[in-house]
Chain A
Amino acid sequence: MSAASGAAPNSQADVGGSGGDGPGAGGAVRARGSRHGRWTAPGMLLPFGVFYVVFLLGPLVYTAVAGFFGGSLVKGGLGRWVGLKNYREALGSADFWSSLGHTFYFTLLTTVPLVLIALVLALLADRFARGRWFFRLAFFAPFMLPSAVISLLFMWIFADEIGLAQGVVKWFGVETPPSWLGDPDWAMISVAAATVWWTVGFNFVLYLAALQEIPAEVHEAAAMDGAGPWQRLRLVVVPMLGRATTLVAVLQLVASLKVFDQIYMMTSGGPDDSTRPSLLYIYQTGFTDGRTGYASTVSLLLFVVILLVSLVWFAMVRRTEKGS
């Protein structure tokens, strides 16, 4: 009955647990599971731990260290020690800063609409209990699609001459619509539009759930006070969504900083590298040029940026929780 991993009772004195309670004692408030063999806990943690160390912790340390070497993909290994040369190159490189700039630009172009549009959609859909499955399907189904499908769809829609987007714009009277993916001024906007279509459903669902949490009494009270539907929305409901909005915004921000798929497939970072985000820059320097040391440096810098954004969120959430 007792497996080898579980020691017989009374064999190990537990750190903080009080021994001696028999089967009849039950109902203790403190979670007890105290007594266990020496190897039970490590044993259960080990499988996860191995993966965690080998594929998360280890690589993180490697990335930090490799930035000080001039490693090459084809030669393998860490390469020659170069000290701060990679950092100097990255921080002085126009390509590095422009790719970071493109990443921020993309983040801005997607986060704002994704928050606002999802909010509007949720506010509207919340009013109608019937048919909600239809709206959920329409807005959320795209979220389930792989980025490759999104890219194929929108490369067709944004195609020059024969694409739907240009066709629609021409129908509205614009003679020569821009090349949606070929014009440096429009390429990022087009990719952002595709991304908004793709992921708004996720935020929509989050907002809907938050709206469901608002008790009916709040609506009733406001209505009793004579507030019209528009006022109720503006002055009562939206302010109560503060926490949800923070969550949505931050999830969106962090995800946008990691953008790669759609840009790689729709524009390859072009035209003229005008849409290249940081992650694609890392891919190109690390795997196309094969400079693993330099690419590790850029990876670490990107990680720092993402970390800072996450920490800022953490601080903001703390603040709002203290306030409310």
Chain B
Amino acid sequence: MKLPTLFEKIRQKMFGDVVTTFAWMSVVLLVLLAIAPAKDFLADWHVYQRGYEKLISKRSDAVTLRRHFEPGIQQIWLPEMGVVDRCTTCHSALKEASLSDIKIQPYRFHPPIPHKPEEMGCSVCHRGQGTATSVEDAHKSTLAWEEPLLPAKYLESSCGQCHQQDLKGTPQLNLGRKMLGAYGCVHCHTIKRPDGTVISGTDDPPSLAHVAEKTSREWIFVWLKDPQTYSTTATMPNFKLSDDDARDVSAFLISQSTPASLKIVQASLDQAKKVKDDAVLQTKAASLYGESFCASCHAVQNAAGNLVGGNVGPELTKIGSKAKPEWLQAWVRNPHEYDALTAMPHYRFNDQEVGLLTGFLMGKADADLLANVHLDSATPDQIAHGKRLVNDYGCASCHEINGIKHPENFAPELTRIGSKPVNQLAIAPGVPHTLYDYIGAKIKQPRAFGPSLKMPQYTFTAVQIDALTNALLSHNERALTIPSTKTVPAVAPSHYEPAGNAGQLIRDLNCLSCHEINGRGGDMAPDLTWEGSSVQREWLLQFFRNPNTLRPALIRRMPKFNLTDAEINTLTDYILAVYQSPKVDRDSMPMSGYAPAQVEEGKQLYYSKYGCQACHIIDSKKDKGYIGPTLTHVGSRLTAAWVFAWMKDPTALRADTQEPKRNMSDDDASALTAFLMSQKGGEKQEAKKR
């Protein structure tokens, strides 16, 4: 049979007469017409809505759930935020708390957060394509849409679009933001917050103007090759310099260094030399290091390889291989001489003590560190090449270097990095084509994106990289355009400076490295903004002479600075006069003291109603509480007015205190104040005074 005849037969059979032709055409038309509704019926969102209806029909509260359910395309429209989100079309159970046991998407109940979807939309936090009505378009990166949903670990970045302050619920974002300053990212990359303020560095990289006074060229070479070999806590990244480049940069840095006119005391240097071979002096030096609480700020690696100590100052494990003894003794004597703005306090050590500490620190050396470094004296060519490298790598973005200007905008500005279009990214091989993967990969291994890139290699953990990615993603176009009524601006940094002679002393002792006053300062020690309302004069004088700890479980303590009586008086007068709280009313306290009955009542309240002994010690034989300060001497330490105000509302006086507010009556607060003020430290103290 030939084909044409076959066709002819079919044509005759089907379209032989008008009626059958019409019938056939009707069938074809019907099928064509059915395609649209069928497509609609099979659309993702329809399938999910039918699934939802089936799901809720089996629940005990089906009637309520069905009443809440609205079929069809749903939409959250927030014109001022530019939000058109149809996510609720499929995610029908977002607000149904009774479905919180359902663990399959798209039917999960949205976990409680501080915002409602109808106020913020969905894509503001989750990204993705809000207007899409198919699964692929809404969640994934497609040809027409490059912004897929944010993985859960980057969600905190979205909080950071509006909240420029740290939030309790966003630990990752807080960490990332802190790191932008603490690891010096912002020295090279400008990052502006939506309110126009610029994020500033908090790492305080040292000036290199007098670096030759401090250390040797060999040490600089080793440090440049890899800062981690000297200290695992180094914040300086690895620039991956070749041996020749490191040789030349070290040559230039030494050549540009100028003398620093340090005070060199031979007696201290002699003493320091003796420490090495004298066991008695070594013990003495170690205990001076301990008593001075150097470890509150500086860490040292112990025999087990664990770092012990604080991270305010640099790690001292191998300081003896770095610092020159002359520099070290001058630094220990008065650090401001070398670096006027250092965070290190000026201890008033005598020359012998300076020698002891210098000797002790010089002993913390690693013989292997510089053993294999042999540098010939530098040629002018090498120095010139070193200078070129210093310019190329932007060293002066962080460090002060003689003859090199601080470069402006050395690296790309990152104010909008969180919304940079993916098609503008030069993505390294093997990195998925999404913005967050790009940022993470770039932080992890910057030079993988091109051999000529200058960005150095950091040694961040996976958690730190995620935290930084969160912080960077929060700096995006939306953050810059969101209405200011919806945002919480960053806390303006405090530029508080204490005044007068006392102010000079406070700067010299660097009290603000540990204590916060009027919004400025560290968080290691108590906030002193209202210290003057809090403590009694006698106690404060005594405390400066010999600072002992108030909290039994605390390891870090205030060091003894060996202040003179005149200095102590200046500080005490200033603190008592200036650091006064308006919430503490001295005049409202009874002038004539408290009646024994009131003291007794306070004792009852203390032990039974309020259970204060859970956290505090008042009777050192019986009480054991370890959380709050010991109260055995509280009557000679604190003012009655402060104690009363504290009883009424401790959080109003110190926002971060662990002590809860009790909402107690004035009578209870007075009785407790009476009891606490009667705690003067027992007979021992009295005997001492007499």
A and B: interacting chains: no
Q: Which residues of A contact B (CB under 8 A)?
A: none
Q: Which residues of B contact A (CB under 8 A)?
A: none
